[in-house]
């Protein structure tokens, strides 16, 4: 390509790769190292830290117990234990002449205009609202909205659907707040989900659950490098060149357990209990024989649960009838192919009926209406390239995401929902963007994955790839 990313970009990428959890630390040490870098509150923003009343999670639990009934034998029951001290989060807004406070105002919350519900990334293992503030501060400022960022529960202690439960609870808090919240119910037309990496997968999973449960949907979904396929089945995940272009390791079991510690010991004990339950119950859930050919590959869930649509949205029976989606991926990231397929599948559910094992009941699906999708693939860029602010493409990418939020989330309830305010009748706008921010139609090379035959099949690997 005529343009390339800067030397500073590759230096930063190597730094990030060197600081990933590689198994040398215990899980406790890795979590502390990865989460102990809170971003200070800037002088231009106000942050309101909140702890949600437990009734929102109780309501979420009630919905999930019904909606996940068919999967109950393949999930760890600890998601129902709210012993983490409560669901916390923070409101972020930009200061103006009317704002008071020193940038860390814990007083009453006044919610006006657009709202972005932020779900951080970190493989469901690490992350927090506080270490994600560079991104949330930027969205609050440039998308002219208030951001609500939640600290959902993390693995390995809390497994699926604990994270879905917390995300759903946060949404209930926004659209049906109690008197203690201090603000009026927020119209879903004013709310956009904004998720990064695993938070992106969680954003889609939450929207799918809302759709399937007949609950109000947000006005749009913004995704940065979403993790939508936990089977790691797509070709780009195994592509050797990704070792140089991406920071995500190509191993199936990631993050690694590391040296023994209380957290890893508890995880192994719970995983064994769940495995024994699955053997006894022999539940009939959608999946593939490859799921049971290997030991468990993810902290987040048992292998038998990998094809649950709220776990791996790319494998859902249908991604239709969702709010408009704006999705950005790196051309050099391992998740690229899964993201591309996810976007094409959402925009044309009837055409992309894959994987075959999940499509048995598609003809009866009530969700066949194409979802309007914007997909942007940034040449050579890594997973979550938005973290490397030195690059020209980062500002460009964020500006495009901000424009989507401003278009699809109403700033005033009198404005009609802009779901139908599109430039034409297309359901997919897929483009590639080079490091000089030049936009073109999506290249054929990025669409080769649409012909892949082993979608949703865990690849055959060496033992060292999952240990």
In a domain, 321, yes or no: yes
The average pLDDT across 299-318 equals 98
d(CA 427, CA 200): 20
Residue 150, beta-bridge partner list: 89
pLDDT digits (tens, 9 = 90+) for 20-51: 888 889 999 999 988 888 999 999 999 999 99
pLDDT computed for residue 465 by the predictor: 55
Degrees to nearest 5, angle at CA 163 with 160 and 167? 140
- Residue with the bigger pLDDT between 1 and 20: it is 20
CB 392 within 8 A of CB 436: yes
Please determine, for residue 234, whether its predicted confidence score (pLDDT) is greater than 70.
yes
Those residues with Cβ within 8 angstroms of residue 391's Cβ, 6 or more apart along the chain or in another chain: 5, 6, 9, 381, 385, 435
Q: Which domain holds residue 183?
A: 7-465
CA 286 to chain centre: 22
DSSP letter (8 states) at residue 136: H
In a domain, 1, yes or no: no
Where does the pLDDT of residue 208 fall: very low under 50, low under 70, confident under 90, or very high at 90 and above?
very high
Those residues with Cβ within 8 angstroms of residue 283's Cβ, 6 or more apart along the chain or in another chain: 71, 73, 74, 304
pLDDT computed for residue 125 by the predictor: 96
d(CA 169, CA 216): 14
In a domain, 2, yes or no: no
Please determine, for residue 414, whether its predicted confidence score (pLDDT) is greater than 50.
no
In a domain, 415, yes or no: yes
Lowest mean pLDDT among 301-305, 408-412, 425-429: 408-412
Question: What are the φ and ψ backbone dihedral angles of 212, each rounded to 5 degrees?
Answer: -65, -25
CATH number of the domain within which 252 lies? 3.40.50.1820
In a domain, 162, yes or no: yes
Where does the pLDDT of residue 209 fall: very low under 50, low under 70, confident under 90, or very high at 90 and above?
very high
Cα torsion for 41, 83, 183, 131, to the nearest 10°? Answer: 20
pLDDT computed for residue 96 by the predictor: 82
User: Which residue, 291, 266, 263, 265, is CA-closest to 278?
Assistant: 291
Residue 158, beta-bridge partner list: none
CB 341 within 8 A of CB 354: yes
CB 198 within 8 A of CB 164: no
Where does the pLDDT of residue 255 fall: very low under 50, low under 70, confident under 90, or very high at 90 and above?
confident
CB 379 within 8 A of CB 432: yes
d(CA 108, CA 46): 12
In a domain, 393, yes or no: yes
CB 206 within 8 A of CB 234: no
pLDDT digits (tens, 9 = 90+) for 210-232: 999 999 999 999 999 999 999 99
Domain count, the chain: 1
- CA distances (Å), origin 304, targets 125, 286, 296: 20, 8, 9
pLDDT computed for residue 108 by the predictor: 62
In a domain, 395, yes or no: yes
pLDDT digits (tens, 9 = 90+) for 70-129: 999 999 999 999 999 999 999 999 998 665 544 444 446 789 899 999 999 999 999 999
User: Which residue, 230, 249, 254, is CA-closest to 239?
Assistant: 249
In a domain, 93, yes or no: yes
d(CA 118, CA 184): 19
The average pLDDT across 136-158 equals 97
């Amino acid at each position: 390509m005529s343009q390339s990313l800067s030397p500073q970009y590759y230096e930063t990428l190597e730094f990030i790769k060197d600081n990933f959890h590689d198994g040398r630390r215990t899980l406790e040490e890795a979590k502390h190292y990865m989460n102990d870098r809170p971003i200070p509150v800037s002088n231009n923003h106000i942050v309101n830290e909140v702890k949600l009343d437990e009734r929102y999670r109780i309501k979420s639990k009630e919905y999930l117990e019904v909606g996940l009934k068919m999967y109950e034998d393949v999930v760890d029951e600890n998601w129902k234990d709210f012993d983490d001290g409560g669901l916390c989060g923070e409101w972020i807004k930009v200061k103006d002449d009317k704002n008071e406070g020193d940038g860390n105002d814990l007083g009453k919350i006044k919610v006006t205009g657009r709202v972005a519900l932020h779900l951080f990334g970190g493989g469901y293992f690490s992350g927090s609202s506080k270490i994600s503030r560079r991104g949330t501060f930027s969205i609050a400022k440039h998308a002219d909205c208030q951001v609500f960022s939640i600290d959902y529960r993390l693995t390995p202690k809390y497994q699926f659907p604990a994270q879905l439960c917390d995300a759903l609870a946060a949404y209930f808090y926004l659209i049906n707040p109690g008197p203690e919240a201090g603000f009026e119910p927020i119209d879903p037309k004013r709310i956009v989900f904004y998720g990064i990496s695993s938070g992106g997968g969680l954003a889609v999973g939450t929207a799918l659950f809302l759709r399937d449960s007949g609950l109000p949907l947000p006005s749009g979904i913004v995704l940065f490098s979403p993790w939508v396929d936990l089977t790691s089945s797509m070709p780009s995940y195994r592509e050797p060149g990704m070792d140089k272009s991406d920071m995500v390791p190509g191993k199936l079991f990631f993050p690694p357990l590391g040296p023994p510690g209380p957290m890893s010991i508890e995880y192994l004990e719970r995983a064994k209990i769940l495995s024994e339950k699955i053997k006894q119950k022999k539940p009939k859930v959608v999946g593939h024989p490859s799921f049971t050919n290997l030991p468990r590959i993810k902290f987040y869930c048992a292998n038998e649960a990998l094809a649950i649509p709220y776990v791996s949205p790319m494998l859902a029976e249908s991604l239709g009838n969702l709010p408009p989606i704006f999705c950005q991926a790196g051309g050099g990231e391992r998740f690229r192919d899964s993201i591309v397929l996810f976007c094409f599948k959402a925009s044309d559910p009837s055409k992309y009926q894959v994987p075959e094992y999940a499509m048995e009941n598609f003809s009866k699906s009530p969700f066949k209406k194409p979802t309007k999708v914007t997909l942007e693939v940034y040449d050579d860029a890594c997973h979550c390239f938005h973290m490397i602010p030195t690059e020209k493409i980062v500002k460009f990418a964020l500006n495009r995401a901000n424009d989507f939020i401003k278009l699809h989330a109403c700033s005033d309830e009198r404005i009609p929902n802009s779901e139908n305010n599109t430039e034409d009748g297309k359901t997919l706008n897929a483009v590639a963007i080079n490091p000089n921010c030049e936009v073109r139609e999506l290249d054929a090379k990025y669409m080769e994955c649409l012909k892949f035959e082993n979608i949703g099949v865990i690849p055959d690997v060496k033992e060292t790839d999952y240990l």
